[in-house]
Structure 1
Amino acid sequence: MKYTEKMSNKLNELLEKNYDAEKGYKKAAEIVDNAKLKQFFESQAQNRYDFGHELKSEIRNYGETPEKGTSTAADMHRTWMDIKSTFTSNDEEAILNEVQRGEKKAVEEYDEVINDITLPPTTQTLLTKQRESIKSALQSAKNFEVVVS
């Protein structure tokens, strides 16, 4: 079985977004001073790195070619984080708000792909597992917000 071109594009978009999230988390880990928050961001960067490899493997299994690189929108988001951190003295609460915004968007994007009825069961299982991990990270970011505030 092969993915449709539409499905292949959607999976490559998720792959790209995972690259973006990995870089965003790495950048956030560089910015913050709180050791627990830094560890959380580093752990999430590793998760997204792992997600990317899982997605690349899944895409290859169905005869498609995974894309490389990050999206322009995410590059702008990271730039915003750079600018924001310069003016707010590494405001951890602002960074957590951005993380939450990004993770909420990621859950929506995963939901859209998971709900596609043409999705092979193996891919649906993989994406569901990744989405649940993102939801968990979102909740953890919300919990950190209470501690940092």
Structure 2
Amino acid sequence: MHTVILYSSSNRFGNTYQSASQLAAELNAPMIYVDEFEINDYCYQHSHADDDFRALFRRVLEFDHIVFASPVYWYAITPKLKAFFDRITDFMDDENLQPELRKLREKHFSILSTSIYDQAPEAFTAMLLRTCQYLGMAFKQQYHFKYDV
């Protein structure tokens, strides 16, 4: 299975990077640092078509298995990774882009989280699970790495 790790963190080379790197080595997967891309918030007028989101999304669609990696920020993923998910709506709203969106139905996804706790909170995983399943993706695995403060 051709895997990519899409990771986000305010600390580019912090705990999430360390955990994602370890998994990337095991899965022979490239890593993409979402925060280095310009991804604007979703806009009903779709006025952000010129940012990096569409190209990044199309790149991610080239893989069979997508690992979404984020530290736990107040029971949630990072704002940049959330913006990535919100912008998928661009492909829902535009009939010309919908065929590309449907490719997600052929994809698997996993979740990688990092925090000071033994496991990710249910609110964190629920958002990712429900969103990806709504998009037709099949859940593969959850990884959680605990770090001391």
After TM superposition, is the score higher than 0.5? no
TM-score normalised per structure 1: 0.31
Query: Which structure's CA Rg is the greater one?
Result: 1
More strand by share: 2
